[in-house]
Structure 1
């Protein structure tokens, strides 16, 4: 059922009984507010119509919980706590940890890396004589690195890098030697060509020394 609510000769609106009771609880309506609905002779106070003059907001609250029972504990009834100090290990072995162990990678040989770098550098420098020395240095580093890796029993990595450095260093060295041999051969051929172009003077022909007048000789007839 809905009621018309009014206050001070002004209507506040139309509300249900539950809404009016809730409004009385939160202060929206007053007990002296007037209500009217169909079937009533006139406006009457809310408290008279809804019979809530004896109700109060506190009565709508649930009853408080019962008080807690107090009791005393004797020292004998209390549970003994475990000692804070960890127990000693009878076997003398340290406790094992459940944490996973991290896999540490093997170190790579520095000489193997140096051999690879020298081998790569020796290729573009083969035509300026530097490739020969760089290639030889790469070969030395590669062989030393390979021997150290074999003696490490798997603790040092870089076998493939050392092998690649050796191959490139050997290639650079061979190309440098081939280039030096070609240049030397070209120089020898050019020198031999110059010597073969000299004109041989037949026997009986006057030489330059014979045609040159001596000092004090009159060359005029």
Structure 2
């Protein structure tokens, strides 16, 4: 009998129920973050779910491996995440959400140099949009509906937390989570930069509606292909 099975059998009933809940959470959200932000105190605290997975990592890893998933753990940033060994069960993000993700990854990279002693990196919605404009990846002003849907999508996968405000407000306060470093590792940044440049060229190039639709479809495919190995 495998060691992880023996360890699982030693779980009490409460631990088995917790194991079941957290396996489903990992499959739904991909990332589990160690440090949870408490708005009341303005401090980070260690999340009990992360500690349980960390303490029984071999059980989670062995169980999920049977279904074709690889469980990873990074103790430096406090991130546990799943990666599929197969081509299915992949999340596809649309072009706009992918470009939002790139922008937030760049914001995280810039600001973590300023807050080297702490991991809290905050941003407001309007700062993200301004950054996208500076990068030149917006061909038109996005609607707040598109922005809020993209932010909710990223929040679902524990890439950011809404701290204060409404999803569709420009001054909503968010916390960027270190999981964003793993969904876009350094070797993927250059690929995303190419997607940004492609967006700029589409904006500059005159075309009729049919060509615009074709270009947009190609960009959507590029974005999906880029993200398929991440979530």
TM category, shorter: under 0.3
TM-score after normalising by structure 2: 0.20
The higher radius of gyration belongs to: 1
Relative to its length, the structure with more helix (as a share) is 2
Whichever structure has more strand as a proportion of its residues is 2
Q: Which has the higher contact order (CA 8 A, sep 6+)?
A: 2
TM-score using structure 1 length: 0.21
